[in-house]
Structure 1
Amino acid sequence: MRSKLIAILCLTIFLCALVTGCNSGEDGTIDVPIKILTDKKVVAVAFELLYDPLVLEAVSVDKSTLATGADAAYDKSTPGVLLIVVTNAEKLDRDGTLVVARFNIVDETGSSDLTIDFKAAEDADTREALPFEVSGGRFDATDMSVEPPVITLG
């Protein structure tokens, strides 16, 4: 029975990392996937991820497989604001994780809203701005839970 419980726990941790891209936080960091929902061909996206700098400290941003071939840049110089820009995208035409933001956990008992301040997105075919909606996410250090923020385009 004990080996079954250990196997279930290991599977749960593996699925967490696989499905949401979350880092377990064992090394004092947490990975936050930024989700995108779209049925358009998106060539560029720019937004700020706002968070509580008393709880989190931005470390880096990595592209997901959805953004393969795209250029991604970020600026973490302002505490509480992580500017993210993805350009030259060719495969952003479906739902998935756009990027994964990694944070150091500053307050192990705190929580932080993860708010998207959307700047722009461009349609690859028309080169026009895409309409958007955003829904914020949340991080809670007490149980290491991450609700990813979502950008809906089109």
Structure 2
Amino acid sequence: MKPFIFCPICSQKLEPAVLEERNRMLCPKCGWVHYSNPLPVAIAFTRNTNGEVLLIRRAHEPAFNQWALPGGFIESSEEPHEGCLRELWEETSIEGSIESLVGVYHRESTMYGSLIAIAYRVLACHENICINHEVFEAGFYPADSLPEVTIPLHRQIIEESLANS
């Protein structure tokens, strides 16, 4: 994400400042402060009734062509669990129900900057997968023979979820 250069209120060029013991960008004219906050992401660790794990192979960056868990950005009007289920539906047409929270994680992304990822355990209501443009393929896999997931956070979520199931 590109940082602000000009104030969105008065168009004055922002200047570096130390506020609340942190480096910030400040408008010298109107006092507007650019707080660089993380973007919220929801991730679905989804299993079917046989205990198999749903994985997708990504069709876009970041992690182009890599195996991953379904997920994406939470919209401004959504609760995190709603964003999780919406992303699951958008990417795979799988409807599900939230079983529990896996965890909340902070990550830095070269593409998006600071992210807060909220991962949920989801039970799939069916197995009728229909992928969208964000996904090359998707499927349910036995936990002991998953395709290789190289995204560190997704690997961590899978490992933590399987260890606690």
Does TM, normalized by the shorter one, top 0.5?
no
* Structure number, greater radius of gyration: 2
Give the TM-score of the pair, scaled to structure 2. Answer: 0.28
Give the TM-score of the pair, scaled to structure 1. Answer: 0.29
The higher relative CO (CA closer than 8 Å, separation ≥ 6) is in: 1
